[in-house]
Every structure is written in C-alpha cells, then in structure tokens.
Structure 1
Amino acid sequence: MTDEVLQKAINRMQKGNQIMVDGFMSLANADGQQNYSEMQSSIEKIEQGLSQYNSGLATKRAIAEGQEPRRVALQWFKSQMNLLPTAPKSEQSNIFGISIFHLGVMTILFLFAFVFIWVYAYKMRRASALLEELKIAPVNEPQVIENENKKEVSENLNTSPTFDKSSELNGALVTSNESTDFTSKKKGVFTGTVHVIGIFNETHDVKTIRLASLAGEPLPFNYEPGQFVTFSLNIPDQPKVIKRSYTIASSPTQRDYFEVTIKREEQGLVSRFMHDNVCIGDALEIKAPNGKFYFNGNNEENIVLVSGGVGITPMMSAVRYLTSTCWKGNIYFLFCARTSNDFIFERELRYLQSRHKNLHVLVSMTRVEGTAWMGPQGRFTSQLVNDFVPELSEKTAHICGPPPMMDAMKNMLIELGMMPQRVKIEGFGGSSPVKKENKPQSPIMGNIDKNTSIKAEAINNGFEVSFTQSNKHAKAAEGESILDVAENLDVDIDSSCRAGSCGLCKVKLLEGQVEMDVDDGLEEDDKENGYVLACQSIPKTPVKVEV
C-alpha cells in the first residue's frame, strides 16, 4: 500500500515537473511575441504544474517520515482549502475573566455616564434657582423715556426678547413674542469703539463692512431700520479727526453685529479710507444711532421704497427688518442703477422676493448696452410706477438716492396722487447745498431785539458767531453756515447729510437770527424751542449758539 502511494507521488511530481517545463517554454515564446493572453495561460499552466509537484512532494516526504497515507492526504487537503489551524495566541492576562482592554473601555464608559448625570443634575438645579428668582422678582411699572424729543413707553415684560441671530439670507428662523419692537429694549445714543469682523465685496466699487462689540457681546445700542452711524476716523495726513455718517444696512433684529455698505468714490476721502485702509480686526470709534429717516412698519399697511445707487442701503435695512419680522403689509421696492454690475444686493433681493410673497421688486437699469440685462430700462416713468404700485395715492413712500433722482421721483409720486406729506426723502452728500436764487426763502429763525439795526458794513464783514459752551467765536463769511464756522474753529457739531434732512446737526440758537433754505430735519417742537440746523443756518445778525 505504501509502495503504491509512493509510486503515485513520484509520478505526480514528474508530471508536475513536465507541466512546468512546458509552461516556461510557452511563456518564453509568448513573451517574445508580446502575446499577453498566451503569457497569462502559460503562468496558469506553471501554477498547475507547481501544485501537482508540491502535492507529490508532500506525499513522498510524509511516507519517508513514516506518516499514515490517509493523514497525509487529509493534511494536504486542509492546506489547499486554507483549513489549517493558525498559530495559537499567547494567553492574555485578564481580571475576573475580562481582558484589560475591555475592562478599560467599560471604565471609560462608566466615567462618561457619571459626568453626564452630574452635569444634568447641575443644570437642573441652576434652572430651578433661576425660576425661583423670576417668581420673586418685582414687576416694574411702565417707564416713560425721553429720546430725541419723542416720548415712548417701554414695559418690562416677563417674556424674553427674541431676535434672529443671522440674516434672512442665511435662512435664519425668526421668532417673536407679542411685541415685535426690537428697538425698544435699549434707548439712547452709544458713543464708543467697535471692531471690524468682516468685509464683503458687493460690486466692483461697493463693500459691506460688518462691525461688532469688542467683547463679542450684543450691540450696545438699538436702532430703527434706516438710521445711520457716525464714524470718527483718524485718517493719515489729516490734521484732525474726520467724521462721516453711513446708513446702517443690516436689520435691527440682528443683535450681534451691524453693517454699513459703502461705495468707493475717487474723490471721497472717507470712502477711499474705508475701502483701502480698514481691515478685519480694526477698532473704529462710532456714535449711533441717529436719523429720523426710517420705517419700521408701524402705522402703515403698505410701503413704497424707492432708491437709486448706493441709496439702496436704508431700504435694504427696512426690507431685511420687515421680512425677518414677517410684516404683513405689501412692500413695493423700486431700485434704479446704471448697469447690472451696479446692482447691489441683487442675489439677496431675489432670495427675499422668492420667500416673501408680499415683497414686490421693480428694478431698472439706465445703461444696458453690452450687458445681459433683460428687465426694464431707463429711469422710472409715471406709467411704469403707476402700473407697478396699485392704489398709489393711498400709500406712503420713502426715497433715497442722488438729489436729482429724489426730486424727480417726489414730483412724480405727487403728480400720481400721493399726498406730499406721505413722501419722505433722505438726502446725502458731502457739502453744503447752494441756495437757489429763485427758490422761496424760508422764514428767518431766532429772536432778536427789535431795536437792533443791521448795518451795511456788518453784512460785508460777516456776522459774529459765538459758541457759548466752547467759548469760541468767529465771523461768518457771506453764505457761510454755522456748521462751516464751527468746523473752522474745531467746534464739534455732529453732521451727516448737510442737506437739512437728517437733523443730526441740530443746535439751539440762543440769540440772533438765521435763515434756512431747508428745515426738514426739525420737528415742530424743535422749531418752537429755538433749535436750528447748523448746516443750513446762514447768520443774518450776530448769533450765539449753545455748543
């Protein structure tokens, strides 16, 4: 039996050897001909011969070592089927039958569960303590707060104020309690430092600068949509601090930061500085908020917002606020720009319009040659506006943009039936307006002794302007305003539009008379109490101003 198995093993080895020889020869021929399929077949033939040779060799060796043929055959079969047992692993140390690894994992899980339970219990105790404090806290009576000659009533409610933590464009969910007056929690004007946390390019010459509190806390002031902030800037090569005001473009519901959107003007000292020098991380001195040109949805069922160029910023603040608070009225947004490249906030407006069915947007471009603009072209016409805004005469409009555009739109809306007092405009610019000769002059403001005589030589030499608090005085040249004299003397009077609209340069006239072309920035109470607009006030007698 053993001899027969041995002979078969030898024959198998010889046969396997022959197969390998044939395979190698075939492989050499295929390699010379670069016949890859034949080369693959030759390799398989060599492997087949090697397998046969290996099985015969294993059998011959087992017989020579005196092993039983059946055991040899079984061992060979297991090796071919990969059924041979692996090498025994060394025994690992364990505790109570559990390996050290598993014991470590269990310990970590136990510690995690303990910490989680402890934190939960701590938070529950803290919440319980806060609830107890709320229960015993006294409810304050309503307080009447005086702010910019306007009395407002604020109540401390037991409901927490809510506001969105990001802009509508980022898909923020805005919740609200019964009162949606986000600007009634914190009154007064803030003067201090904020820092730049972001700068975004809106168009080729317009940037948005995002500012926040230095400590990363909520803004230290509240504002209405459309109000502005005044920056006090130390600009290189300038002998004194330069002040400039920009409209806040963000929504008052955003409490972590505010944004200003600024167009770079080649001749604009401050706009060039803000574009070219201001960087993320810079600290800037501000005074905010200011301005009477705003719309928060109160006392109106619909609103018409008209803007041109960078005058879109106060309108965007209003749109962002009204949409984030889900104002129910219809918003008719009309915007005009030169080209589609000057369309500020285009993507955001399209997004808001798609999300809020009460937002209606009409955009027109005055220069469309060479662009892909397919919408309305040219300046707004009476027919276009009348078709876009239904029942126009019953609505209120806010307009902001270049002065010629505002004048044209104001006249157009009045001609279409809108009441003049329902048309609000926001002027902006960098210099005092030039008085038109054919324009009716406004009444002379101020009190003067009836026996005072105005001599011709006094007119030629200018009138004395005295600033009582600063203890400075100088003569005003012909046509020079009180604000011009103040700036020459380094007397600090806040100013922004220099067109008589914003009311920021309001000062109290103690003595003398002035003449103002525009007094839109004054309330009736202001006029009765002797306030004038420094940017518009041309002295007609020697005057004293409380500054």
Structure 2
Amino acid sequence: MTTYAKLPTLAGAEPAHVSFTDPDIWTAYGAQWNSGEQKTLQCCAVIDETHDVKTFVFRCADWRALSFEPGQFITVSPIIAGQSVSRCYTISSSPTRPFALSITVKRVPGGTVSNWLHDHLNAGDTLLASGPAGSFTPVGRPAAKLLYLSAGSGVTPLMSMTRASFDMAARLDIVFVHSARTPVDIIFHAELNRMQARMPGLRVLNICEGPGVDTQWAGPIGRLDLALLQERVPDFKEREVFTCGPQGYMDAIKSLLKQGNFDFRHYHQESFDIAVLDEAPLLEQAPVLDQQAGVFTVTLSRSGKTFSMPGNQTVLSAAKKAGAIVPSSCSQGVCGTCKTALLQGTVEMNHNGGIRQREIDKGLRLLCCSKPTSDLVIDL
C-alpha cells in the first residue's frame, strides 16, 4: 500500500502561492521517480484532443503513485523497427493526481515516435519511460501573478501547471495566452474554458492565425504581438512568464517582450523543441571529418566497436553512425537520457542541466553535448 507524507505547512506563510511553488508539496504526493530511473507504464486510455493530437494516459504498472513537478517531462522509449528510440514528452496531467499521468502528443509528419504512438499505442499496452526531469516549472519560484504563453503542443507543460493550481484551489492570478493555427487546433479548449469559469484568477485568451472552418470564431486573428499583449494583459511586466512552443514562436515572444522592456529575470521557457526532436531519424547523418578539429579514436567497451570521429562533432552523433544503440532524446543536454560512463579519455561537455555534478564526478557524461579532446573508451 502506498503511504503519503503529511503535506507540509509553512508557519506564517500565505497559502495562495507558497503551497503551489514549494518543492516539498510535490514529493508528498507520491513516490520519488528519479530522472534516470526507468519504469514500466501501462497505457490506460487514448484521448483524441484534435485531429492530429492525442493524449495518452498511463499508470505505473505496480499501481504506485508517482511524484513530479508541474511542467516536467518524461522520456519514453518504445521499440520501433527492433530498435529502442527515446523521446521527451512533457507531462500534461497534474501531479495532484499521482496515480495516473498523461502526455499529449502532436503527430509530426515524418516523426518517428509521434507517428508510432498515434498508430500503435493502445489502452492496455506497456511502455518503458524514464524521468521525470526538467526545470521548466514554477516550483521554487514564488509568484502570485503568472503569464503562460504557448503555441501548438507547447500548451502541455502549462496545462499541467494550470491543472495543478486548479486542483489545489490556489489563489493565483494566471493569464493563459495560447496561439493555434485555427480554432479546431486549440488543444484543451473546452477544459480550459471550464476551468476559467470556476477559477476566479484564471483568464484564457486564444489567438488563431485564421478562422479555418469555424465561421463563428470571435477571438483574435493573427499572431500575438506587443500591441495585443499590452491591450489584453496590461500588467504583463509584473508577471512571472512561462513560454513553450516551437522555437520560432519562443524567439518571437522574447523579441516582443524585449520590445516591451520586460525584466527577463522573470522569464522562463522550455529549452528544447519537442516537434523538432521528433523529426530526428533513427540514425543521424555521418559527421564530416575536419582535420583542423582533430580526429580521435573512440572504442565502445561492450560491443568492441572502434571508429574515428572529429573533435567538432558530438560523441552521440558519431556513436549512432557507427551502429551503437545509444538511448537519446533531447540532444541538447537537458533530459539526461544519453548519460554514459566515460572509461578513458576526456571530452568537452556543455550541458543544460541534464547531469548532476556528483554524476560527473563518477565519470558519467552526456554524449549528446560532449565533444572528444582525446581518444575515448566509452561504456557502450
């Protein structure tokens, strides 16, 4: 039987936003699930959100409750064409409901994993997953006024945050601005409207590039710009901003906020573009040898494979081209999926939080953001 710690109470603290952002709250809801730990998840339901977006609901195979922070992601590893392929997907459900979690996936044309999930994963099936991970979360950042900006499937981490604050009756002032191609492409449209009707501090604004087939659409048409933001959210500079969406969208948001003299100490964005990652092929293209960068020999200790690679390429890219099966996902040093022991040699590693210092001290490296500075022996 799963037992729960008593939810912490903070003496003298105003409960409205402290409870929502206190890290101890989320670990109290279920058992800790470390980012590098794989678990078997069972799919409980598949829900059609839009014509090309589905939500997959999972529970832990042993019925255990799991803790995570709103906005974090997991890494799923289905077997596709006989090969384990890993991709990161943000948890769209709330950690206040720890016995089930969901990911919401947009079908990407040519996307290896998104198409497999849409076409093959059904209720009753199991899937290996590791996580949760990621620092794109309001936890540890106390703020009573929030601005969520999303586009497309970037809505998922912000939906997790909104669901969590709704479930906890947190007295937060949230403005949720979502951009979509047309009204029928708005993910979670009906649910957000229902939450808005019942949560006094939540305001939802949907912006569509065009009306599509919806002749009754009365919302804004076009794209979010500074004029519209100033009109609909005049106090945006007083808010903690969380942004998620395609890279072009996030670049545009940063540009308009800069134009509006926003203080970027209160700005947070998801650090990788899930749609781009899902388009990655099973094997990456061959690296081009660059004599000026130096050429090094890499030995994979388990398989016995040996290959040469230039110093201006990542070890992950070269290892995959050599035929090594290396679990990977974000390719930007965030998720930690490609964490591997470096047995001999040295690398230059520039990560984005996907590995801890104690793991580095033990000899682990993230292959996706490591470039060789000597010959290497890797535990693969």
- For normalisation by structure 2, the TM-score amounts to 0.78
Q: Which amino acid aligns with 1:280?
A: A
User: Displacement, 1:214?
Assistant: 2.9
| Match in the other structure for 1:375 | 219
| Match in the other structure for 2:135 | 292
| Structure 1 Cα separation of the partners of residues 189 and 108 of structure 2 | 21
Mapped pair 1:193 → 2:193: no
User: Displacement, 1:381?
Assistant: 0.5
Mapped pair 1:230 → 2:75: yes
Q: Which amino acid aligns with 2:181?
A: R
Q: Which amino acid aligns with 2:125?
A: D
| Structure 1 Cα separation of the partners of residues 379 and 174 of structure 2 | 42
Mapped pair 1:206 → 2:53: yes
Identity among equivalent positions (%) equals 30
| Match in the other structure for 1:57 | none
**Change beyond 3 A, Cα 1:296–1:469:** farther
| Structure 2 Cα separation of the partners of residues 356 and 512 of structure 1 | 54
Q: 2:258 aligns with which of 402, 406, 414?
A: 414
User: Displacement, 1:364?
Assistant: 0.4
Q: Which amino acid aligns with 1:244?
A: R
* SS of aligned partner of 1:351: helix
* SS of aligned partner of 1:424: strand
User: Displacement, 1:328?
Assistant: 1.9
| Structure 2 Cα separation of the partners of residues 214 and 474 of structure 1 | 40
| Match in the other structure for 1:344 | 187
Mapped pair 1:464 → 2:297: yes
**Change beyond 3 A, Cα 1:506–1:297:** same
**Change beyond 3 A, Cα 1:543–1:373:** farther
Q: 1:244 aligns with which of 84, 87, 112?
A: 87
Q: 1:512 aligns with which of 302, 321, 346?
A: 346
Q: Which amino acid aligns with 2:103?
A: V
Q: Which amino acid aligns with 1:186?
A: A
* SS of aligned partner of 1:393: helix
Q: 1:308 aligns with which of 151, 161, 179?
A: 151
The aligned runs of 1:421-500 (5 Å cut-off) are 421-426=265-270, 427-428=272-273, 429-430=276-277, 457=291, 459=293, 462-466=295-299, 473-477=306-310, 479-489=312-322, 494-500=327-333
Q: Which has the higher contact order (CA 8 A, sep 6+)?
A: 2
Compute the RMSD of aligned alpha carbons: 3.5
* SS of aligned partner of 1:377: coil
| Structure 2 Cα separation of the partners of residues 181 and 376 of structure 1 | 37
Q: 2:202 aligns with which of 343, 359, 366?
A: 359
Deviations 1:330-378 (A, max 9, x none): 1121110101110010000000111111112121001225433210111
| Structure 2 Cα separation of the partners of residues 424 and 179 of structure 1 | 18
User: Displacement, 1:514?
Assistant: 3.0
User: Displacement, 1:231?
Assistant: 1.7
Mapped pair 1:536 → 2:369: yes
Q: Is the CA contact 1:482–1:538 (under 8 Å) kept in the aligned structure 2?
A: yes
Q: Which amino acid aligns with 1:234?
A: I
**Change beyond 3 A, Cα 1:416–1:273:** same
Q: Is the CA contact 1:305–1:334 (under 8 Å) kept in the aligned structure 2?
A: yes
The aligned runs of 1:118-267 (5 Å cut-off) are 159=6, 181-184=25-28, 185-189=30-34, 190-215=37-62, 217-219=63-65, 221-235=66-80, 238-267=81-110
Q: Is the CA contact 1:323–1:352 (under 8 Å) kept in the aligned structure 2?
A: yes
Q: Is the CA contact 1:206–1:261 (under 8 Å) kept in the aligned structure 2?
A: yes
| Structure 1 Cα separation of the partners of residues 211 and 229 of structure 2 | 20
Deviations 1:262-314 (A, max 9, x none): 11123012111111111111121222312222224742222221111011111
* SS of aligned partner of 2:40: strand
Deviations 1:170-222 (A, max 9, x none): xxxxxx9x99713345224242222111111111111111111334x243x31
Q: 1:385 aligns with which of 229, 233, 239?
A: 229
* SS of aligned partner of 1:323: helix
Mapped pair 1:332 → 2:168: no
Q: Is the CA contact 2:338–2:368 (under 8 Å) kept in the aligned structure 1?
A: yes
| Match in the other structure for 1:440 | none
| Structure 2 Cα separation of the partners of residues 278 and 316 of structure 1 | 23
| Structure 2 Cα separation of the partners of residues 506 and 382 of structure 1 | 41
Q: Is the CA contact 2:175–2:204 (under 8 Å) kept in the aligned structure 1?
A: yes
| Structure 2 Cα separation of the partners of residues 416 and 531 of structure 1 | 42
| Structure 1 Cα separation of the partners of residues 219 and 141 of structure 2 | 32
- Tell me, which stretches of 5 or more residues in structure 2 are unaligned? 9-19, 281-289
| Structure 2 Cα separation of the partners of residues 532 and 399 of structure 1 | 29
**Change beyond 3 A, Cα 1:512–1:343:** same
Q: Which has the larger strand fraction?
A: 2
| Structure 2 Cα separation of the partners of residues 288 and 515 of structure 1 | 21
Q: Is the CA contact 1:496–1:504 (under 8 Å) kept in the aligned structure 2?
A: yes
Q: Is the CA contact 2:291–2:310 (under 8 Å) kept in the aligned structure 1?
A: no
| Structure 1 Cα separation of the partners of residues 140 and 202 of structure 2 | 13
| Structure 2 Cα separation of the partners of residues 425 and 396 of structure 1 | 11
**Change beyond 3 A, Cα 1:342–1:306:** same
Q: Which amino acid aligns with 1:271?
A: S
Deviations 1:453-472 (A, max 9, x none): xxx84747x33345678776
**Change beyond 3 A, Cα 1:182–1:476:** same
| Structure 2 Cα separation of the partners of residues 544 and 341 of structure 1 | 52
| Structure 2 Cα separation of the partners of residues 494 and 546 of structure 1 | 13
User: Displacement, 1:479?
Assistant: 4.9
Mapped pair 1:283 → 2:126: yes
Q: Is the CA contact 1:392–1:416 (under 8 Å) kept in the aligned structure 2?
A: no
**Change beyond 3 A, Cα 1:506–1:396:** farther
Deviations 1:379-409 (A, max 9, x none): 1101212333343334322211111111111
| Structure 2 Cα separation of the partners of residues 471 and 302 of structure 1 | 55
Q: Which has the larger helix fraction?
A: 1
